[in-house]
C-alpha cells in the first residue's frame, strides 16, 4: 500500500480530483499555501496499491501540465525610492508529488 501526497495549484485541484474519482481512486483534499507566487495550493492525499501508483501520477500529470503566467514584479527605481511594475513570465502548474510506504491501513 502507498500513500501519495500531491501538491497542485488550486485551479487544477478540482480537475485532478474529478479525474481520480472517475478512475476509482478516493482522494482527500487539504487547502494549503506556499510556493514562489504564494498562491493557494491544494494538497491531495491518495491511498492506493503499489501497482496503481504510476496510474495516479499519470492522471495528475495530465491534469496539471505546466504553463506560462505573467506576474507583475515591483522593481525599485534607482535613486528615487519608488517602485515600478515590471511584467515577468513565470512557469506555473505542474505538481509536487510524494509517494510513501504505508505500514498499516484500515477503513472503518
* Domain range list for the chain: 2-66+93-101
Q: What is the structure's pLDDT at 28?
A: 96
Q: What is the structure's pLDDT at 89?
A: 72
Q: What is the structure's pLDDT at 107?
A: 84
Q: For residues 102 and 37, which has the higher predicted lDDT (pLDDT)? A: 102
Domain 2-66+93-101 in CATH 3.30.70.120? The answer is yes
Q: Is the dihedral of CA 64, 43, 47, 101 positive or negative?
A: positive
d(CA 33, CA 31): 7
Beta strands in the chain (DSSP E): 2-9, 27-34, 39-48, 67-76, 83-92, 95-101
Q: What is the structure's pLDDT at 70?
A: 75
d(CA 76, CA 16): 39
Q: What is the structure's pLDDT at 65?
A: 75
State the chain's mean pLDDT as an integer: 85
d(CA 38, CA 82): 23
Q: What is the structure's pLDDT at 2?
A: 97
- Render pLDDT for 48-86 as a digit per residue (tens, 0 to 9): 999 999 999 999 999 987 777 777 766 665 665 666 666
Q: What is the pTM of this model?
A: 0.74
Q: What is the structure's pLDDT at 80?
A: 59
Amino acid at each position: 500500500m502507498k500513500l501519495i501526497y500531491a501538491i497542485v495549484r488550486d485551479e487544477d485541484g478540482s480537475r485532478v480530483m474529478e479525474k481520480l474519482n472517475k478512475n476509482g481512486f478516493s482522494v482527500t483534499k487539504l487547502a494549503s499555501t506556499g510556493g514562489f507566487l504564494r498562491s493557494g495550493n491544494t494538497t491531495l492525499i491518495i491511498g492506493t496499491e503499489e501497482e496503481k501508483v504510476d496510474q495516479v501520477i499519470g492522471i495528475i500529470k495530465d491534469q496539471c501540465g505546466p504553463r506560462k503566467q505573467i506576474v507583475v514584479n515591483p522593481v525599485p527605481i534607482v535613486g528615487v525610492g519608488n517602485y515600478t511594475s515590471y511584467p515577468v513570465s513565470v512557469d506555473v502548474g505542474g505538481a509536487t508529488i510524494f509517494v510513501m510506504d504505508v505500514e498499516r491501513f484500515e477503513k472503518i
